[in-house]
Structure 1
Amino acid sequence: MSTDPNPSSGSDTPVPTCYRHPGRETYVRCTRCDRYICPDCMRDAAVGHQCVECVAEANKGVRPARTRLGARDTQDAPPVVTYSLIGLCLLAYVAELASPRVVDEFAMFGGESRFGQMIPGLGVAGGEWYRMITSMFLHQPLSAGGFALTHILFNMWALWALGPALERELGRLRFFTLYMIAGFGGSVLIYLVDAGQVAVGASGAIFGLFAAFFVIGRKLGGDVRPIVFLLVLNLVITFSASSAISWEAHIGGLVTGALVAVAYAYAPEARRKIVHLVAPLVVLAGLVVLVVVKTSQLTSGVA
């Protein structure tokens, strides 16, 4: 910090003012550019103070902190993707309560009736491919009874519990990609195994997060026993109540999430960016090919 040694000397000498706020008198100058700065423009430096422009210029050469997987460090930022996904699911549930047609029109449905006959113009095979995505944000409606309310409560709890840690370690874009591809993978397995099944829920994406938490936890040397216990418990529930729960969505999301997570966690550091970009695209392309092939099989005999 530099100051005029005798600010009161020389009554005819004009009082200096801040270069950003001309109406404010000051005798403090930036140690880097030597311009006068007022208290609002002062930024602490190793020696004295610097102006905001000099601090911004110096920060351009500072590399941002990164997580161990190469994402920008956002430890102090809220997990906005996690909260946004929870918000979308809750909004979708409110829409379900307002109109039962929401589930009818946006649930996962391949287009095949329970008698093995295709229903023209309906379902994924009928061109409603968006069902494979929209179904990820819907949940079992209250009118279905049973575990309807538990369905969304558990999924949102799991997303709230796992999401923030994964989002901060992977970064927002990678986390969102993982979530969406895992959910899509669950819908794809439903389509391949039982095109007549009607399914809703974020469970496929949630199981993808389970897999990612395990894979990334192992890579980073964390304690993965709690997630293993939770995963095994949910798999037992999945297969013990197969009539009420879509095991296809759970397994599809689990496998797809694991594939993407392995690419994120074990990519060579020198090629991390390209692997993190290409690997999810390859997985997604493979899933799309499976959907195209299955659709061709289902519609080949439809006039």
Structure 2
Amino acid sequence: MASGDPERGTKNRGYNTANVHYVETSDKLWTSWLIPIFVVANIAVFIVVMYVNNCPKNNLDFYGKCVAKFLGRLSFQPLKENPLFGPSSSTLEKMGALEWNKVVHEHQGWRLITSMWLHAGVIHLLANMLSLIFIGIRLEQQFGFVRVGIIYLLSGFGGSILSSLFIQRNISVGASGALFGLLGAMLSELLTNWTIYANKEFFHMLTTLHTLEVS
């Protein structure tokens, strides 16, 4: 991706902006397609998990009745069991949730990957997917799918490793580790190019003031 960094000094009526430098970017934004695929994949996996969960058949009414029974086998576990509107913990474990004992003692290292695509419920899924859309699409448009994809997968894998180290008695699911990786990349890019953004904003402010004065 080519970028242009022309420095321009302009002198406006009543305002000397000769020392104000700003960077014009001529970068052409990439088309974001990988992040939407990740979003669709996460939603599809959640639907499959709910289908396997089959609350009307497998719920023993220990915590109460299934929620949203009109959804059939996609209905949610009782809220006392799962307040996030999702499947049971046993179903998540069956589908690949991260569990320290199974990873360490039963050598099921694949759970470090599969747990990234599982979510505890609709609320959990919605929060993560909205965050992924707002953060990920902008990063992919600016840096391309290769870099964003690598950051997403490596961050998710690293997050799973940390979860397996610190959460040893419960199961862990979700794309939070991958999202924090993308958030860190966005903040790093913002801090690295802070002077560029600041100079551009300052120049635009002076231009606006000059326009108001002339009018």
Question: Smaller-chain TM-score range?
Answer: 0.5 to 0.7
Query: 1:211 is matched with which residue?
Result: 184
- Alignment check: 8 A CA contact 2:148 2:182 kept: no
Question: What is the deviation of 1:194?
Answer: 2.8
Cα deviation code 1:172-206 (max 9, x no counterpart): 11110100111111111112223333011111111
- Alignment check: 8 A CA contact 1:109 1:123 kept: yes
In 1: Cα distance, 2:103 partner to 2:3 partner: 42
Structure having greater relative contact order (Cα 8 Å, sep ≥ 6):
2
1:66 matches 2:39: no
Query: 1:178 is matched with which residue?
Result: 151
Instruction: Note the residue ranges of structure 2 that are not aligned, 5 or more in a row.
Output: 5-26, 54-89, 199-215
SS of match in other structure, 1:215: helix
The root-mean-square deviation of aligned C-alpha atoms, in Å, is: 2.1
**Equivalent AA in structure 1 for residue 179 of structure 2:** I
Query: 2:106 is matched with which residue?
Result: 126
Taking every aligned residue pair, what percent have the same amino acid on both sides?
Answer: 28
Question: What is the deviation of 1:157?
Answer: 0.3
TM-score normalised by structure 2 residue count: 0.58
1:37-48 correspondence runs (5 A): none
Which of residues 19, 33, 42 in structure 2 aligns to 1:89? 42
State the structure with more CA Rg.
Answer: 1
In 2: Cα distance, 1:132 partner to 1:124 partner: 11
The count of aligned residue pairs is 137
In 1: Cα distance, 2:150 partner to 2:168 partner: 25
Question: What is the deviation of 1:125?
Answer: 3.5
SS of match in other structure, 2:152: helix
Instruction: Note the residue ranges of structure 1 that are not aligned, 5 or more in a row.
Output: 1-64, 112-121, 141-147, 224-303
1:98 matches 2:51: yes
**Residues 1:74 and 1:125: Cα distance change in structure 2 (over 3 Å):** farther
- Alignment check: 8 A CA contact 2:31 2:140 kept: no
TM-score normalised by structure 1 residue count: 0.42
In 1: Cα distance, 2:41 partner to 2:91 partner: 14
In 2: Cα distance, 1:67 partner to 1:164 partner: 20
